[in-house]
Amino acid sequence: MAEFEPLIIAFCCNWCTYAAADLAGTSRIRYPANVRIVRVMCSSMVNPFYVLKAFEGGADGVLVAGCHQVDCHYIDGPEKCDSMVEGLREMLHVLGLDDERFRREMVSASEGVIFAQVIRDMVQQLKRLGPSPFKTKTEALA
Amino acid sequence: MNLDTIIQETKTYNCLECGKCTSVCPVAKYDSSFSPRAIIEEALLGFGDELTSDRELFSCLTCYNCRNKCPCDVEFPLFVREARVIAQGNGQYGICAHSGQLQSLVRLMTSPDIKQKRLEWLSDKYRISDQSDVLFWVGCAPYFRPIFQDIEFRALDITEASLKVLNLLAIEPKLLPNEKCCGHDALWTGDVGTFKKLAQYNAAQIKEAGVKKIVFSCSEGYRTFKLDYPKYVDLNCEVQHISEFLAEKIEKGGVKFKEIKKKVTYQDPCRLGRHLGIYDAPRKVLQSIPGIELVEMEHNRTESTCCGTSAFTNCESYSNMIRKERLSEAKATGAELLITACPKCQTHFRCAMVDKGEEHRPIPKIEIMDLANLAAIAMGDKQ
């Protein structure tokens, strides 16, 4: 049987992390191809539904990444995102999802290396955890 | 089911077009484009496709006000519920409040592999027992804290108060560690597939638990178990709302309340009131507490106004107008406390009160509490 390949949905802020992913590409840094990037204008526009829907759709892990506190294009995006993440983590915890399946990172536009590292870490972690418990349902429906 | 079958089953063909439904509809009062009568007419004249792709279909609160007034027994709320199944097939889901996270959580819960950690709030203060033949249904309260913390609503307070009440009545209930959503919201928004899965899962768990009675603090869950589950699964046990449970105990004379000097008014939740016809049990509990003076709002019992949103769908400006009207009614009674028997009523009223309103027309403010909380305090719980 082929090795389990996790699927990661990454919500990346347009100004920092998306640019970092771009930089990782242009700098030819290798990282696993398990990630599907969704570009959003700010990490604070990601609401819990986006993440839940990603899991519903069969993601094994979800990443929400944006600017550092000081670099935000919209002043206080990361703070808003953090407060959303706090509530979301609680919900996912009650739902019984492993904490590692959802990650919140801050990656600035110049940190292509860090972006690649985050993805590498996440893939490794998810391979250890195995497929998401919500997958059984999605496959049954398909 | 296609629309013709729905019309047959809900006796929609009986409609005389008298318009009583629209005249009592709380939504139609504020939203002039919404009319139960027009929806029925649309269906009967063969405009089913237009009807089932219209977002307005999800504005109905299914509060049963129209059903109560209808002279020819048209089951309008059930008609809407079934028509929403077709609408979902057409890609129309209504506007989900809270960006749809509540609906998403429900769908995620249908996965058989999840192991929820839903009882972490439970402390040593409460006595529960696995051998008990009474089950207490916790419901969705553990999920509500992060979603409703900004309106200062703690659904778990109601759960904890209910447990306290049961404990004080010398009942150590059983709790299910991996119970799933009862499926009320899924069913009423037309997601029958999800509902069936949840119902089957819950029924199997309850069977395994071997309980004789389930007690609810939530009117929606209670309605779902009492009226909807028997159609899909074999439940084989008694269900009771905490207010009925208390009223029964009061009748037997086994409950001691201490005095609480307060003037209160009571909001009939639509699920408990018009859906199930339980008006007296909660009032009996209130009247048994010494010092409590119960005053009725202008619209009460069968006439009572809904809290403005159901199944967390199509919560719009009209919903807020309905809430404001209801809160004004509560305020006009001179009561200092509004008692409800459904966590969702409390959610919606609290949400309305977060809004300050306009300078000339401020949102009426009144303290809200669940019946279980008040009973727990009256029975000696220090809060």
pLDDT in tens, B5-43: 999 999 999 999 999 999 999 999 999 999 999 999 999
- B197 & B235 share domain: yes
- B277 & B362 share domain: yes
- Whether B359 shows a pLDDT value over 50: the answer reads yes
Average pLDDT over residues B348-362: 84
Q: What local confidence, expressed as pLDDT, does residue A137 receive? A: 55
pLDDT tier, B382 (very low <50, low <70, confident <90, very high otherwise): low
Q: What local confidence, expressed as pLDDT, does residue B200 receive? A: 93
Of B100, B112, B117, the CB nearest to A136: B112
User: Considering only CB atoms, which residues of chain B are within 8 Å of chain A?
Assistant: 98-101, 104-105, 107-118, 120, 142-143, 145-147, 149
Of B104, B146, B147, the CB nearest to A56: B104
Rounded to a whole number of angstroms, the distance from the CA of B145 to the nearest CA of chain A is: 8
Task: Judge whether A73 is closer than 8 Å to chain B, CB to CB.
Answer: no
Considering only CA atoms, which of B55, B42, B40, B45 is closest in space to residue B90?
B55
CB contact under 8 A, A96 and B147: no
Task: Judge whether A46 is closer than 8 Å to chain B, CB to CB.
Answer: no
Task: Judge whether A136 is closer than 8 Å to chain B, CB to CB.
Answer: yes
Asked which of B199, B214, B247 is the last residue of a domain, the reply is B247
* Nearest chain B residue to A138, by CA: B111
- B59 & B161 share domain: no
CA trace torsion B283, B286, B289, B294 (10° rounding): -100
Task: Judge whether A18 is closer than 8 Å to chain B, CB to CB.
Answer: no
Question: Which helix (DSSP H) or strand (DSSP E) does residue B54 occupy?
Answer: none
pLDDT tier, B151 (very low <50, low <70, confident <90, very high otherwise): confident
A-chain residues near B105 (CB < 8 A) = 52, 91, 95
Of B99, B105, B115, the CB nearest to A91: B105
- B135 & B214 share domain: yes
The string of pLDDT tens digits covering residues B71-91 is 999 999 999 999 999 999 988
- B243 & B290 share domain: no
**Domains along the sequence of chain A with CATH:** 8-135 (3.40.50)
- B273 & B291 share domain: yes
* Nearest chain B residue to A93, by CA: B117
A-chain residues near B115 (CB < 8 A) = 96, 133
Tell me the CA distances in angstroms from B271 to B222, B262, B302, one per residue in order: 8, 26, 11
- B237 & B265 share domain: no
- B71 & B199 share domain: no
Residue B322 within any structural domain of the chain: yes
Residue B141 within any structural domain of the chain: yes
E strands of B120-220, at which residues? 134-137, 213-216
- B66 & B39 share domain: yes
Rounded to a whole number of angstroms, the distance from the CA of A23 to the nearest CA of chain B is: 33
Q: What local confidence, expressed as pLDDT, does residue A140 receive? A: 45
Of A53, A87, A93, the CB nearest to B117: A93
- B142 & B68 share domain: no
Residue B205 within any structural domain of the chain: yes
* Nearest chain A residue to B120, by CA: A94
Q: What local confidence, expressed as pLDDT, does residue B316 receive? A: 87
Considering only CA atoms, which of B377, B351, B353 is closest in space to residue B366?
B353
Residue B383 within any structural domain of the chain: no
- B206 & B265 share domain: no
Domain membership of residue B19 as a residue range: 3-89
- Whether A142 shows a pLDDT value over 70: the answer reads no
Asked which of B212, B247, B282 is the last residue of a domain, the reply is B247
* Average pLDDT of chain B to the nearest whole number: 91
Residue B109 within any structural domain of the chain: yes
Rounded to a whole number of angstroms, the distance from the CA of B190 to the nearest CA of chain A is: 17
- Whether A2 shows a pLDDT value over 90: the answer reads no
ipTM for the whole complex? 0.88
Q: Classify B207 as helix, strand or coil.
A: helix
CB contact under 8 A, B101 and A97: no
- B359 & B320 share domain: yes
pLDDT tier, A141 (very low <50, low <70, confident <90, very high otherwise): very low
Of B99, B114, B143, the CB nearest to A133: B114
Q: What is the CA radius of gyration of chain B?
A: 20
B-chain residues near A98 (CB < 8 A) = none
* Nearest chain B residue to A135, by CA: B111
CATH number, domain with residue B346: 3.40.50
Model confidence, pTM:
0.91
CB contact under 8 A, A95 and B107: no
Asked which of B89, B105, B136 is the last residue of a domain, the reply is B89
- Structural domains in chain B (count): 3
- Whether B94 shows a pLDDT value over 70: the answer reads yes
B233, two tokens: 């699964």
B-chain residues near A94 (CB < 8 A) = 116-118, 120, 142-143
Residue B220 CB contacts under 8 Å (≥ 6 apart), including other chains:
B182, B184, B185, B269, B271, B342, B344
Q: What is the CA radius of gyration of chain A?
A: 15
* Nearest chain A residue to B101, by CA: A49
Considering only CA atoms, which of B361, B360, A60, A120 is closest in space to residue B352?
B361
* Nearest chain A residue to B179, by CA: A95
Dist. CA B112–CA B201, nearest whole Å: 8
- Whether A7 shows a pLDDT value over 80: the answer reads yes
The string of pLDDT tens digits covering residues B44-66 is 999 989 999 998 899 999 999 99
CB contact under 8 A, A95 and B146: no
Rounded to a whole number of angstroms, the distance from the CA of B321 to the nearest CA of chain A is: 27
Q: Classify A104 as helix, strand or coil.
A: strand
The string of pLDDT tens digits covering residues A45-89 is 999 999 999 999 999 999 999 999 999 999 999 999 999 999 999
